[in-house]
Chains A and B, each alone.
Chain A
Amino acid sequence: AQKITQTQPGMFVQEKEAVTLDCTYDTSDPSYGLFWYKQPSSGEMIFLIYQGSYDQQNATEGRYSLNFQKARKSANLVISASQLGDSAMYFCAMRDFKAAGNKLTFGGGTRVLVKP
């Protein structure tokens, strides 16, 4: 069974600084994808970044980058130059590519509060 662990329940970060959100995962499948989502107080899950298990390079999307360490089974999200609008819950999720469907397994989330 797949499992996602996010050990930081909450974090404060100063505006314009970088913040790293930890995510470790457990799976026996060689083919999988790792996702990060942002959930503001409105509730909608917003896709941020994706990393495939066979991707050779770490994924980047604007101010978001993923520090993927396959041997350690970690996929940490780095948000650079934090903005007040980055205050939200952040979820790490995994998808097993052997399965027929597109089920996502989510971690417990990390709440980020950006201070001005």
Chain B
Amino acid sequence: DAGVTQSPTHLIKTRGQQVTLRCSPISGHKSVSWYQQVLGQGPQFIFQYYEKEERGRGNFPDRFSARQFPNYSSELNVNALLLGDSALYLCASSSTGGPYNEQFFGPGTRLTVL
């Protein structure tokens, strides 16, 4: 079975632009979480979605938004990009999204904002 997939692998944008990152969970998994990992730091939680509903939100501005589709794939949108949004964006999926389920991470999308 395929693991968590993310697209694109790399992305270069300029300040003020908007970006959409995509994530496909492991088949059968209904929960997707997004994390931002700035270079040299640990990942920080952005969102969790389960059954198309937002289950958790981290301390990120409203420029960050996400949604989950009926097939459980997910998109993360970032508007009005800032230089500080340059990071590796990781997606993780889990079966039910509860606290006892293991999360499986994708390879990430590396976003560079110029």
Contacts and interface: CB of A to CB of B under 8 A. Distances in A.
B26 to A, nearest CB: 13
Contact of B56 (A43, A98, A99): A99
A44 B31 contact: no
A66 B28 CA distance: 30
B97 A45 contact: no
A48 B91 CA distance: 18
A101 interface: yes
Interface in B15-36: 31, 33, 35
A42 B99 contact: no
A65 B16 CA distance: 46
Interface residues of A, number: 27
B105 A102 contact: no
Contacts of A102: 31, 33, 48, 94, 97-99, 101, 103
Interface of B: 31, 33, 35, 40-45, 48, 50, 55-56, 58, 88, 90, 92, 94, 97-108, 110
Interface of A: 4, 33, 37, 42-47, 50, 91, 93, 95-109
28 contacts: A43-B88, A43-B90, A43-B107, A43-B108, A43-B110, A44-B105, A45-B43, A45-B92, A46-B105, A47-B102, A47-B103, A47-B104, A50-B102, A99-B99, A100-B98, A100-B99, A102-B33, A102-B48, A102-B97, A102-B101, A103-B45, A103-B48, A104-B33, A105-B45, A106-B44, A107-B42, A108-B41, A109-B42
Given A101-B97, A101-B98, A106-B43, 4 more contacts: A43-B90, A45-B105, A97-B100, A102-B97
